[in-house]
Structure 1
Amino acid sequence: MSRTTTRFASGAIAAAATVALLVGCASTPDAPAPASSSSADAGFPVTITGALGSTTIESAPERVATWGWGATDAVIALGVTPVAIPSDDYSGGEDKIAPWVSEGLEKLGGETPVILDGSASTLSTEELLTATPDVLLAPYSGLTQEEFDEVTGAGVPVVAYPEAVWTTPWRDAVKLVGEALGKSAEADRILADMDALVADAAAAHPEFAGTSIALLTESAGTYYLYLPADPRVEILEDLGFVTPKGVTALDTGEGTFYTTVSPEKLDEIDADVVLAFGETQDAFDTFASSDNARLIPAISKGAVAGLIGPEEISMLSPTPLTLPYGLDTIVEKLAAATAVAKG
């Protein structure tokens, strides 16, 4: 199994696990609806304060750049074609664009965005400025203070994360994008659509309610356990699952959204169900049948679901595009694992 740590935490652990969910949930899952010009122009100037500093957006942005995870999807769902987006080096194809983002861009039309190199998790201000943006949106990202200062120093307002790298709740990220674009009402409608989608899935599977779950991956003998601060865990909890005390008790404080677990402590992961990642089905099967993995009670029982391949893994991270794109697949696999857990 490979390290699937953040989708997006492309700087924290390895870019292999930036995980997400997809395509088009503005007023309907199929077609983002642009706001009227009057609503888009309302509420400016707007000042947004984050962990790296305050930024003021004087008027409704027309040339929007994004960085990190999820901002691109929110911008597209709000009916705006971004001029620059980060490369998706995990679930993107040869063009480094995730399939759900490609679908959203195609529906909006317009020019293909500049693809910013995100492979090293370092933002190149020079590369960004070639797209002549009038705002950079990075509410869920690993943007550094130096990068923030360079971009704002070049005259481009930056909306970064409110508190810490890779910790912004996914709903808050969508709200921040909406605020920055002058489309807060539209962002609220998108969130209502997303919540309804998840609520419908939870209602269809009452067995999820109160069932404990652990989100886990393994890379080169290191086991990564995701914590409630991770948006992927948050969406599982929205479906009705709960994070058991045995998971949070293993948190060593080494990361904001994950912790590592040594093999001798794997039996302390006391979840009813485990959701794990595998780059291929063979890799997942090898992991799930390994002696170490079978120390985890749920895996030993067979109450384990696997998301296989970059695209499927990425569908778990909630965005206005990934959720409609991949929720059914995820729910189906969780239902099967939960049936085993409760069988």
Structure 2
Amino acid sequence: MSVRTSRLGALVALTVAGGLVLSGCAGTTEPAATPDAAPGSTDSFPVTFEHIYGTTTIDAPPERIATWGWGVTDAVLALGIVPVAISSMDYGGGEDRITPWVEDAIADLGGEEPVILDSATYELSVEELLATDPDVLIASYSGLTQEEYDAVTNAGIPVVAPEEALWSTPWRDVITDTGKALGMDAAAEDLLADLDRQVADAAAEHPEFDGTTIAYAADDVDTFYLYLPADPRVEILEDLGFVTAESVTALDDGAATFYTTVSAENLDQVDADVVFTQVESEDQLDTFLTSARTKLIPAVATGAVGAIVGEENVAAISPTALTLPWILPDMVEQLAAATAVAKG
């Protein structure tokens, strides 16, 4: 099958200071559809996307879907389809460069395993992609360049590019855009509703979260990061009932949209009931909890800290259709323990 594109116009920071991961076992995720799931009916096509490189029209339901960037692979799998090609996950993906939640979803759905497109340098090999004979490339949350976009579309493959800027499409939009591209709008909406329900249920089970101030922090040797409400990871914390501490936004220097850095002499100004952090190892967590620098933060000094530990879990903190249910149980467990300390 061949799907053609109409085009009018011509980094990721999953974590800036390393990933935060919860200790303990991660949750499990089931794809939303069955192994027999297929793209939607022809009734919803053609569909058109406006994006940073112009306009893309998909004329008919694509059957061979390629994905590029973060979260799109997860959305396609959660809708019950195994892509023909996916980008490698070089952080949290292990030796096979596939994250465990993606690996589990592929195994559950069955069928032929996708080709892994090398994304170690965030550069798309157009030749490698085209060798998989895709009908569409969905790259709505990615660093896809104009040159890469042109090369793929010139080969006759429609591309769903980032909406407004590279590495910035909201995670919920990644799911709805994927559903639209596949002709599965209703299924995508149902998927989002289920994800929202899981978060809402967790919040209802922990009323102590409501109104508790929080600071999402990460220590990277010489730089201390605070994540802002614009970060989707903080968004999930707030969906659970937490409130970003006023001290966090007061320290924002405006240099970035989703994080700010804080100098060591100002760490005592990070005034929050609870601190949430991410580290790659237990040794790094111990350093965070015991160093003279981080203990300048009142919540760290009192032990009101929730921590996600491990590279896989750090990657999973950035929400997608598959990572949210995979990490949420451990995330809530850590937050509950930290809140209990804070409220004594």
Distance 1:247 1:189, change over 3 A: same
- 1:131 aligned residue: 132
Gaps of 5+ in 2: 1-10
Aligned 8 A contact 2:21 2:315 in 1: yes
In structure 2, what is the equivalent of residue 320 of structure 1? 321
Match of 1:211 in 2: 212
Counterpart contact for 2:62–2:136, Cα < 8 Å? yes
Find out whether 1:200 has 2:184 as its counterpart. no
C-alpha distance in 2 between matches for 1:179 and 1:333 = 36
**In 2 relative to 1, CA 103–289 (structure 1 residues): closer, same or farther, beyond 3 Å?**
same
Q: Structure 2 CA distance, aligned partners of 1:123 and 1:187?
A: 27
Aligned residue identity for 1:80:
I
Q: Deviations over 1:249-292 (max 9, x none)?
A: 32233333222222122222222211111111111111221111
Structure 1 equivalent of residue 162 of structure 2: 161
The worse-fitting range, judged by mean Cα deviation, of 172-181 and 315-324 is: 315-324
Q: Once superposed, what is the RMSD of the aligned Cα atoms?
A: 2.3
Go from structure 1 to structure 2 and tell me whether the alpha carbon gap of 1:214 and 1:62 turns closer, same or farther (over 3 Å shift).
Answer: same
- 1:297 and 1:174 map into 2 onto residues whose CA distance is 38
User: What residue is the counterpart of 2:6 in the other structure?
Assistant: none
Question: Percent identity, aligned pairs only?
Answer: 57
Q: Does 1:56 align with 2:60?
A: no
Aligned residues: 331
- Distance across 2 between alignment mates of 1:48 and 1:158: 9
Give the direction of change, closer, same or farther, for the CA distance of 1:36–1:84 in structure 2 (3 Å limit).
closer
Q: Deviations over 1:119-149 (max 9, x none)?
A: 2122222222222212111222222333223
Deviation at 1:324, TM superposition (A): 2.0
CA contact (8 A) 2:27 2:329 kept: no
Runs of 4+, deviation exceeding 4 Å: 18-23, 31-37
| Alignment of 1:173 onto 2:174 | yes
Greater mean alpha carbon deviation, residues 46-55 or residues 76-85:
46-55
2:261 alignment partner AA:
T
Is 186-195 or 256-265 further displaced after alignment?
256-265
- Using a 3 Å threshold, how does the CA distance of structure 1 residues 139 and 229 change in structure 2: closer, same or farther? farther
Q: What is the distance in 1 between the residues matched to 2:139 and 2:20?
A: 15
| Contact 2:38–2:81, Cα closer than 8 Å, also in 1 | no
Q: What is the CA-CA distance between 1:40 and the residue it aligns to?
A: 3.6
Q: Deviations over 1:75-100 (max 9, x none)?
A: 00111111111111111121100011
CA distance in 1, matches of 2:140, 2:212: 31
Larger Rg: 2
Q: Is the contact made by 2:299 and 2:342 (CA closer than 8 Å) also made in structure 1?
A: yes
Q: Which residue of 2 aligns with 1:263?
A: 264
Aligned to 1:96: 97
> Contact between 2:21 and 2:308, CA under 8 Å: does it hold in 1?
no
Partner of 1:3: none
Does residue 47 of the first structure (1) align with residue 48 of the second (2)?
yes
